[in-house]
Amino acid sequence: MRQLDVKNAFLHGFLKEEVFMEQPPGYINEDLPNHVCKLNRSLYGLKQGPRARFDRLSQCLLHMGFYCGKAGSSLFILRKGQSIVLLLIYVDDIIVTCNDNNIISDLISTLSNEFSLKDLGSLHYFLGLEVKYFPNGLFVSQTRYTRDLLEHTKMMECTHINTPMALKSIITPSDEQPIDPTQYRQLVGSLQYLTFTRPDIVHAVNKSCQHFQAPTKADLRNAQTQEEAHLGIVFFWEPIVSHGPQNDNLKFLDQALSALHMIVNTVFHAHSKHIELDYHFVWEKVASRVLITRFLPLSLQVADIFTKAFPKTSFQVFQFKLGVYKLPLTSLRAADKGNSNSAS
């Protein structure tokens, strides 16, 4: 993965509207001091600037054969034979990866003809994400981001716990003054961003999101008498294999036998008329053998970590299965040494 920086990114965009500005200080025409300048390109500070910058860059990529990914308008994809190029744009930063380094070099050379680029080398830090390279894959962490968050909240010296949430969380009335709701939302939003590399805290963060407003007595009574259904899904991506009929089916693992029976048995059930029409899509995929259902015991259902709290032992087992673990310091130092050698 390579990281690129577009110099003066906002100055590359072309304006579609007529925009005028006063003559800048130091460049005022003494013969026409009351005249204004018509802008042909965007400038920093213009409300059209971000869109003009993105349109210019995206049109260039589309002309090169890229197409916009469905996952987001900032992701562009290019296929060349057996190779695939993924390019991600964030303001003036570009992340590009491909299974052929020669294609990346050619791409950077082509983009450099249109824009002033700076090649930052291999990706190591991007939007709070730290990337370490190992022979068997990548290690992505948010150590610096987490440390900054703890310092901001003055919790660097807080007591360490093994799980993010108690098994039984009971809401009790309190006479304490509610904290600043804006500050609380900012902190919860910061935790939501942390779930990118810490999916094991998703459930705790989700519960925190339910208290954006100060709860009332009515809310407390509802919390004690009502239960909500939560859905947790985990996709385990294995190495890519060639496409074919034998490899196109997906396995759906669930601990609810009743749900599995209803999926397999498409006969009309008198007590299931309330099911939304979207779920008929699942029946169709099971019938066509695209989706295969399997029973999974509750003790092995990793996705449950997104819906409920667990004791220490079970939590750490699911945590490891999600790929969330702490690397030894020696491994991190070895990765840093290898990355520095490859960069040089």
Question: What does each of the 344 residues of the chain score in pLDDT, given as a tens digit?
Answer: 888 988 887 777 788 888 888 888 888 888 888 888 888 888 887 887 788 888 888 888 999 899 888 777 889 999 988 889 999 988 888 899 888 889 999 988 998 888 888 888 888 888 888 888 888 778 888 888 888 988 888 888 888 878 777 777 665 655 666 667 778 888 888 888 888 888 888 888 887 777 766 643 333 333 333 444 455 565 555 433 332 333 444 555 555 555 555 555 555 454 554 455 566 676 677 777 767 777 777 777 777 777 778 788 888 787 777 777 776 655 555 555 555 555 44
CB 38 within 8 A of CB 18: yes
pLDDT given at position 273:
47
Taking the C-alpha atoms of residue 85 and residue 67, their distance in angstroms, rounded to an integer, is 11
Burial class of residue 167 in the structure, from the number of CB atoms within 10 Å of its CB (0-12 exposed, 13-18 middle, 19+ buried): exposed
pLDDT given at position 133:
84
Among candidate residues 99, 98, 96, 125, the one with its CA nearest the CA of residue 111:
96
The four Cα atoms 27, 30, 32, 37 give a dihedral, to 10 degrees, of: 0
Beta bridge mates, 254:
295
pLDDT given at position 344:
44
Instruction: Take residue 92 and report the two structure tokens written for it.
Output: 């003036």
Match 């029976």 to its residue by tokens: 261
CB 35 within 8 A of CB 156: no
pLDDT given at position 248:
45
Q: How far is CA 80 from the centre of its chain?
A: 26
In the chain, the amino acid numbered 167 is L
Which H or E run includes 71? none
CA dihedral sign, ordered 283, 289, 295, 299 = negative
Q: Which is it for strands 250-254 and 137-141: parallel, antiparallel or unpaired?
A: unpaired
